[in-house]
Amino acid sequence: VFTSPCGGPDDDFENSDLYSVNVDGTGLKLLLPESGGDYDPAWSPDGKRIAFTSRRTSRPSIFVLDLAANTVTLLFESTGNFSEARSPAWSPFNNQILFVATRGITEIWAMTDTGKSPIQLVYSGLEYVNFDPVWSPDGQFVRFSQRRVGRSAVWLSQLVYEERELMTAKRLPFFPSWIENVEYSPDGLWLLYESVGEDGNRDICVMTVDGENITRITSDPGADFDPTWRPIQSP
């Protein structure tokens, strides 16, 4: 599933739609003909639902599409002090969804897959912006990108999900000059991510979960972003 049109990682997606396509390029399908600006799609672990961000309300909010029923349900609406909610990420084992919410400051939140019990997971204060949350494959950790307001350097932080009531996260001791849209490999041993190198170009890189063996895997002049792993195939 993907977003189109997509002008780049910082696009506002005002007129974007969600599409699905087979891995061989066949079967292209518009998922929601009456879009309101849909983006950030995320499959549920069972492949039956897609959580996504949409501008179909007055502000970016989180919705879920039930593929069998072809129904769309609002999970978290940005109202009141919330200016936006985006970037949903399903837990691999339970009914929790991570997302980013901005209420003066941009922090990492979680809720159930029915939109119940939203809870702020991290409080970093006014100096920081937190975004791009991702679960570890075992569901124990949440990693996310973080930067200071007004600064360009982006690093990786981590919280232990079972200790979420502490609302604290640890900045990991390793980070390239820029690290966004982190994706764990299915075996949990590697991280795929976006980075901006010395040449100023946005490319895809990979490293081990402990920050070793950093390798740049794209080098074309275009901006490369939103990487993802191929799922483990059954024998």
- The residues of the chain scoring below 50 in pLDDT are none
Question: Shortest CA distance to 135 belongs to which of 53, 230, 19, 42?
Answer: 42
**By three-state DSSP, how is residue 132 classified?**
strand
How high is the pLDDT of residue 171? 82
Structural domains of the chain in order of their starting residue, each with its CATH number: 2-178 (2.120.10.30)
How high is the pLDDT of residue 53? 96
Cβ count near 9 (within 10 Å):
13
How high is the pLDDT of residue 8? 62
Cβ atoms 153, 137 nearer than 8 A = no
How high is the pLDDT of residue 227? 87
How high is the pLDDT of residue 84? 95
Task: Tell me the per-residue pLDDT of 21-55, one tens digit each, with 9 for 90 and over.
Answer: 998 899 999 999 877 799 999 999 999 999 999 99
Alpha-carbon distance 230 to 201, whole Å? 24
How high is the pLDDT of residue 148? 84
